[in-house]
Amino acid sequence: MFRASFFAAPHRVMFLGGSIQALLAMGFWSLQTGGHYAGFWSVPVWPLLAVLPQSLWHGLLMGSGVFPWFVFGFILTAGPRWQGAADLGQRDFLPPFMLLAVGWLLVWIALFVPALLAIGLAAVLAGWMLVARILTRIALRPALGREHIVCVALAAWLGAAGIGAYIVLALSGDIAWGRLGISLSLWGFLLPVFVTVSHRMLPFFTSAVQRGYVVQRPAWALRTLLGAGILHGALSQMDLSGWLWAADLPAMLAAGTLSWLWWRRGVLENRMVAVLHIAFGWLAPAFALFALQSALPGTFGQAPMHALAIGFFSSMMIGMVSRVTLGHSGRPVLADGAMWTAFCLMQVAALLRVAGELPLPGGRLAVVWLSSAVWLGAFLVWAAGYAPALWRRRADGKPG
C-alpha cells in the first residue's frame, strides 16, 4: 500500500525527498551556526569542511540540495498540464528521483569521506539532467503560451551547469568553481523558476477565489526579472559589484509592479492566496537591498541574499507545495493551522536573518543562529502536517 501510493506521482517522491533534505540541511546548519559561529556549544570536526568553506557547503545544500526537490515535484506535476499533455508516468520521474536520492546520500557521507563528494554530485547531476530533459520535451510540445515552461526548462539546464561547477570544485579544490556553482543555482535556476511559476500561477490562483479578478501577466515584467537575474549573476562573477544596481533596480521595479498589479483588497482574507502574495512581496525589497548593497558595499552583509532566499523562495515554497500536496491528496485546498503556522514562522526567520546583518546589541551571530532554528521549526511544523499525505492514499480515492 505504501509503495503503490508513494510512487504514484512525481510530487510525492520529490516532496518527501525535499522534506528529508530540508530538515537535514537546516538542522546541520543550525548546529554549525550555534556552535561554530555563536559559540553556544562545541561541534564535531567534519573532514570535508576542513577543505571546503562552510559557506560553500551551505550554499550547495540549500541552493542545489533543498529547493530543487520541491521545484521538480511541482513542475513535473504542473508542467505537463500547462501544455495540455498527459501526466508523467513512473518511467519518467522514478529514475531521476533515485539518482538524486543516492547522490545526495553520498554527498552527506562525504562529510566523513571527502572523496565521495564528486561521485555523489555526479549522481545528482545525472538525475538533474533527466529532469531537464523531461522539461525540454514538454517545452517542445506544440502548444499555445509556451514561454513559462520554456523558461523553466532553460533554468533547469543552468542549474545542471551549477552542479557541474560544484563537481569541478570537488575535484580541483578551486573555490572559484564553488562561487560559480552558487551563482548558477541562484541566478540561473532558482530565481528564474520561482519568478516564472509565480508569474503563471499567482494571478491564476487569485482569480479562482476572488470574483471579478482580472488575470494580468505582463510579459515585460517577467522578462525584466529573468534578464536582471542573469545580469546580476554575470556581474557578480566578474567582480563588478559596483554595477549590480544596474540589474537590481529594474528587477525591483518589475517585482514591485507585479505586486501592485496582483494585489486586491480582500486578498488576505483567503490564507491560501495570502501566503503567495506575501511571499512574492519579498522580491522587490530584496532587490532594493541588493541595489543599496551595490551602492554602499559591505553595509548589509548577507541581508539581501536572505531576504530573497528565505523571504521569497522559502515562503513561496511553503505556499505552492502546500497547495499541490492538498490538491493532489484529495483534501480541500484550504490553509490549515500547520501551513499557516509554518508560513508565519518563516516570516519570522526571514526578518531575523535580515536583522542579523545589522549591528545589534549582544551580537548578531546569536540572531543568525535563531533565524536558522526558526526556519527549522517552521519546516518541522509543515512536514508534520503534510508529509504523511505523500505516502498515504488520496482521501477521495482517485489515482495519483
pLDDT 10s digits, 362-393: 557 888 999 999 999 999 999 999 999 999 99
At 361 the pLDDT is 57
What is the rounded average pLDDT for all residues in the chain?
Answer: 94
pLDDT tens, residue by residue, 174-233: 999 999 999 999 999 999 999 999 999 999 999 999 888 999 999 999 999 999 999 999
pTM of the model: 0.96
Domain 2-390 has CATH 1.20.210.10: yes
The amino acid present at 308, given as its one-letter code, is: L
pLDDT tens, residue by residue, 313-327: 999 999 999 999 999
Residues 11, 74: Cα–Cα separation, whole Å: 6
Q: Cα dist. 243→146, 237, 247, 302 in Å?
A: 33, 12, 8, 18
Q: Cα dist. 296→264, 289, 302 in Å?
A: 35, 10, 13
Residues 379, 23: Cα–Cα separation, whole Å: 7
The contacts of residue 36 (CB under 8 Å, 6+ apart) are: 43, 54
Return the closest-CA partner of residue 19 out of 340, 380, 398: 380
Which residue's entry shows cell 499525505?
A: 389
Return the closest-CA partner of residue 332 out of 262, 279, 270, 267: 270
Three cell numbers written together for 75: 513542475
Which residue's entry shows cell 538542522?
A: 27
Three cell numbers written together for 298: 559591505
At 43 the pLDDT is 86
